[in-house]
Structure 1
Amino acid sequence: MRFEIERKFLVAHDGWRAAATGRRSLRDGLVGQFGRGKVRVRLDEDRAWLTVKGARLGISRPEFEYEIPCADAEAMLSNVCVGTVIDKTRHCVPHDGLTWVVDEFGGCLAGIVLAEVELEAEDQPFSRPDWLGGEVTGDLRFRQTTLLHLCRQTDRPVTMADILALPAAL
């Protein structure tokens, strides 16, 4: 079983752009939630996959990914997903031996930018790039399911102020 060990951060400024080595457009949709887990479908320019994520244990969680046909993903995004589909551009940014991903959201979340890094162990040390802002790993307001629900509740683009106005404990 694979465990995802991930830390998530706000982005303080655009300094990451100069170091970005690649990018891809992604569309994510929530197929369903169960307990403290979820099933998501994701589509990029060339591939699609289903991801099943279990409950978090600290900053770790079980994760299973299965590649699926792009046509199936398109159909799920259009006909099965609960609520809003998230559009984002994911940038790969190497820094001090790790690859950070910086997600620039589009659609109802246009203007929101978050960074993540996957680690081998929860206590793995890493250096913080200077463009990194505050850590939001345990902050429920910045979970993708929360962002999806927030998009459904408003008829305008969601701002960082909207996200920060939510109770941190939800």
Structure 2
Amino acid sequence: MAKKSVKEQAYNGLGSLIKLLPTGTVFMFQFLSPVLSNYGQCHPINKYLMGALLVICGFNCAFATFTDSYVDDEGNVHYGIATSKGLWPSNRSSSKADLSKYKLRAADFVHAVMSVFVFVVVAVLDKNTVDCYAPALEISRKTMLMVLPPIVGGVCSGVFAMFPSTRHGIGYPSSNDASS
């Protein structure tokens, strides 16, 4: 097996970051946060709605790291959830693919925790969330905004780059897909 160049390693690390960072979830959160929090002027119902949004988005960040895809004998891409016994497919195809090679690994849990951590930082730095739950933090929000993203981004990027995921979640092409 040929050794990968530094450039190829950098691209592979960047690819892992793109797959693992919760960009879709962050977009959904930033889109719904102002509406559900009443632009930070939270009433009790807004706090419950924001809490539900935070839980759903956090769960989605973690759940996405446990999804994978495979290509069947006919070239169709199928998605599933990684389990301790292998991939649990979203549909039962007549494929003879060996799904046991997609078992859960410790790295999957590390990636899930890091993805949730990134989302938590985004949520904590959201003005509507701060105004809703902890208006007293508004004073220190500017300092947190300058300090947290580079630190968390650096740590998570380093972990994702050093331990790249082999998972191809929903929406990403499988490595055995002919088009990749």
- TM-score, normalised to structure 1, is 0.27
- TM-score, normalised to structure 2, is 0.26
- By relative contact order (CA 8 Å, sep 6+), the higher-ranking structure is 2
Q: Which has the larger radius of gyration?
A: 2
